[in-house]
Structures are given as structure tokens and as C-alpha cells.
Amino acid sequence: MPGSFTAFVIADDNGKPKGSFTTLSPSDLPDHEVLVEVSHSTVNYKDGLAVTGKAKIARKLPMVAGIDLAGTVVESRSPAWKAGDRVVVNGWGLSETQWGGYSRYQRVKPEWLIRLPDVFTPEQAMGIGTAGYTAALCVDALERWGAIQPGGGEVLVTGAAGGVGSVAVALLAKRGYAVTATTGRPETHDYLRGLGAGGFIDRATLLEKGPPLQKERWAGGVDSVGGQTLVNALSQTVWGGAIAACGLAGSSDLPGTVLPHILRSVTLIGIDSVMAPADRRASAWVRLARDLDPGHLSAMYEVHPFADLPTLGERILAGQIRGRVVLDLS
Ligand code: NDP
């Protein structure tokens, strides 16, 4: 291990969070049991907020940002892991309460680690990242609830050209669901059709306020937008259907009524990836390894050098990123 390495650190700047590339030494890292050489990380929407300082994501400073990491174990004081193991961490408070993935080396707790499925390289795992793993949690939840079965009705994916949305489209289509995608970017239709979307709705349609009970259409849905979009999705869900809501790319409001829930038994399933227990994580990664076509995966992300991080943070907040972004730290 080198005596110093580069990390992207959020520090206090006159009461405001400000990120910059910083040189760290091994003794700066937290005293967790497993040392990982990080080869790749990623840029999620929440990372964009942290990197640009547009929201206080870190709850203590200084904080190494980055909610995901993939790499190889260098040394471990835990019997569960040994040098050479290929690993992934998603969430667990990385970049909020725990130092995260934007560092060439990081020390983490053994229970945060997932063994990287053999079918994926670290780059691909970060192509999936928290966004893709969250999409898998959403599809798992809809199936576990019994709301959707392949061939059983249309499934809606909102924010479809984004990170969560594009993986959700691909996972659902591979399982044989009829997937309808909402997007504000018509230029992504070919890409989304390639992932398996069968139909499209302009996202503006779902941003308009409608009646509390609308024509029943969706057996289920994956929503990463929130606000009026989520309310309309619930209002258009069939009796007994469910929407798995994981995001607020549009809004954190929920300006709806209880009518879809009490008159159509529609369920709103909340999905939090950060503190998801180990069995749910393992199940999501099994789904990803089984259902995410490697050909689709390569079309879903672009790889950038670590140095591009500040620009990428701005771009993801401006909605200028299609799919996912992988950071190469190696
Ligand atoms: P992206 O920025 O990649 O995608 C979000 C998509 O939402 C955009 O591509 C766009 O889709 C759509 N969108 C953006 N702004 C608006 C708007 N104002 N109105 C309607 N649609 C909009 O982000 P991610 O996919 O990485 O994350 C999506 C959301 O999920 C975020 O809020 C994120 O914080 C949340 N999230 C939550 C997790 C959890 O554990 N609960 C984990 C991971 C993410 P299009 O261009 O197709 O219209």
C-alpha cells in the first residue's frame, strides 16, 4: 500500500460543505476491520448533491464522499474476508456517517461487504451501483408482495432513462413483464426499447394533477421520481397492485389521497437501499447476476476518470446523465 493516495473529501468551508481532491495517508482511514483497494466507484444522484455541496449529505465532516465502492480486499482482521476477495459496498451510510468510496483505499466493516458475483467485474458492479441494486430491491419487493407476475399486466417505470429506472426496465423486461417507461427525454426511447421497454409515456403527462382514481392500468410500478408522478402512478394502479417508491428526483412531496389505497387496495412499498438487511441485498444481487444481460449493462454506463468527479456531480443534478456513471480510481 502506498504512503499516500487521493480521495475526494467534503470539508467545512465557513459553515458550508465543500468538496475537493485531497491526499490521504493510511493512518487517516477509519479503524474498520477490512482494508479495500478501491478500483471503481460511481456517481449517484445523492453523490451529485454531496460533491457539489448542494445538499448536506455528510452528517459529520470531514467526510470521504461516494456511496458505493468496488475493489479487492488488501488485508482483513475479520475471518469472513481475506486478501484478494472481490467485494462491493452499497450504502450503509457511506458518505453520510461513514467514509465512502471516493478514495483509492478505504477501511470498511466486514458486514457491509457483498461478495462480487463471478459474472461481474468491479467496473460492471459499479455500472450497477446503488441505483441498479435499488432497482433490484424494488422488483424483488413487487414480486414478494405478489403484485406482479410475468404476463400479468403492465408495469410502469418512472424516471426510466435514469440510473434506477434503466436497470428496473432491463430487469423487468428480462422476467417477461410488459414494461411502460416514462421519460422526459424522447431521445432515449431507442436505448430504453433496447433494454426491453414496450411503451412510453411523456413524463409531463404524469406531472399533471389528475383525479384521485384514474383508469386502472398498472399492475405494479417502480418510481424514482416522487411527487405528482408517484400520486398519478398510484391513482392508475389496478386493484391489489403496488408501486415500489425509492426516489425523489422530481419531488419529495406526496400530494395525493388515500383513495387508491382504501378503494383499490393499492400498496405503496417504500424502498430504502442504505440500511437494507443482508438477506435483501444478497437477493437483489442474485437477481442482478441472473437477469441483467451483460450486453445491456455495457450500454447502461460510461466510465470516467476520478478527476471528472466534480463535473459529473453537476451533470447528474442537471439531468444530463443517461443511465449510470462509473468512476475509475485505478
Ligand atoms: P438519475 O438522475 O440517474 O435519474 C433520475 C431520473 O428521474 C432522471 O433521469 C429523469 O428521468 C427523472 N427526473 C429527473 N428530474 C425529474 C423531474 N423534475 N420530474 C420528473 N422526472 C424527473 O438518478 P438515480 O436513478 O440514480 O436516482 C433516482 C432517485 O432515486 C433519486 O431521487 C435518488 O436519490 C433515489 N435513490 C434512492 C435510493 C434509496 O435507497 N431509496 C437509492 C438510489 C437512488 P427521465 O430523463 O427518464 O425523465
Q: Please write the tens of the pLDDT for every residue from 166-211.
A: 999 999 999 999 999 999 999 999 999 999 999 999 999 999 999 9
What's the pLDDT at 126?
96
Given a cut of 80, whether residue 147 has pLDDT beyond it is yes
**What whole-number distance in Å separates Cα of residue 225 and Cα of residue 205?**
13
This model of the complex carries an ipTM of: 0.99
What's the pLDDT at 153?
92
Determine the residue of 41, 42, 44 to mutate for testing ligand 1's pocket, defined as the one with the most ligand atoms within 8 A of the Cβ atom: 44
- Which of 125-129, 199-203, 323-327 is the least confident region? 323-327
What's the pLDDT at 243?
98
What's the pLDDT at 319?
84
CATH topology classification for 5-116+293-328: Quinone Oxidoreductase; Chain A, domain 1 (3.90.180)
What's the pLDDT at 217?
98
Ligand 1 touching residue 274 (CB < 6 A): yes
Residue with CA at minimum distance from ligand 1 atom 20? 250
What's the pLDDT at 170?
96
- Per the CB < 8 A criterion, the answer to whether 207 and 228 are in contact is yes
**What whole-number distance in Å separates Cα of residue 224 and Cα of residue 252?**
10
Ligand 1 touching residue 141 (CB < 6 A): no
Residue with CA at minimum distance from ligand 1 atom 24? 163
- Which of 71-75, 118-122, 143-147, 292-296 is the least confident region? 292-296
pLDDT tier, 277 (very low <50, low <70, confident <90, very high otherwise) = very high
pLDDT tier, 151 (very low <50, low <70, confident <90, very high otherwise) = confident
Q: Which segment, 29-33, 277-281, 298-302, is predicted with the most confidence on average?
A: 29-33
Share of the chain above pLDDT 90, in %: 93
pLDDT tier, 1 (very low <50, low <70, confident <90, very high otherwise) = confident
Q: Is 112 exposed, middle or buried (0-12, 13-18, 19+ CB in 10 A)?
A: buried
- Return the ∠ at Cα 48 (arms to 121 and 20), rounded to 5°: 95
Query: Strand pairing partners for 304?
Result: 327
- Return the ∠ at Cα 21 (arms to 18 and 27), rounded to 5°: 105
Average pLDDT, the chain: 96
Q: What spacing in Å lies between the alpha carbon of 162 and ligand 1's midpoint?
A: 6
Q: Please write the tens of the pLDDT for every residue from 230-247.
A: 999 999 999 999 999 999
What's the pLDDT at 164?
94
Pick the CATH number of 130-270 from 1.20.1250.20, 3.30.300.210, 2.60.40.10, 3.40.50.720: 3.40.50.720
Determine the residue of 185, 187, 225 to mutate for testing ligand 1's pocket, defined as the one with the most ligand atoms within 8 A of the Cβ atom: 225
Determine the residue of 43, 45, 128 to mutate for testing ligand 1's pocket, defined as the one with the most ligand atoms within 8 A of the Cβ atom: 45
**What whole-number distance in Å separates Cα of residue 48 and Cα of residue 309?**
9
Residue with cell 504512503: 3
Given a cut of 90, whether residue 323 has pLDDT beyond it is no
Given a cut of 80, whether residue 160 has pLDDT beyond it is yes
List the chain domain ranges: 5-116+293-328, 130-270
Arithmetic mean of pLDDT, 88-102: 96
- Measured from the Cα of 206, ligand 1's closest atom is 20
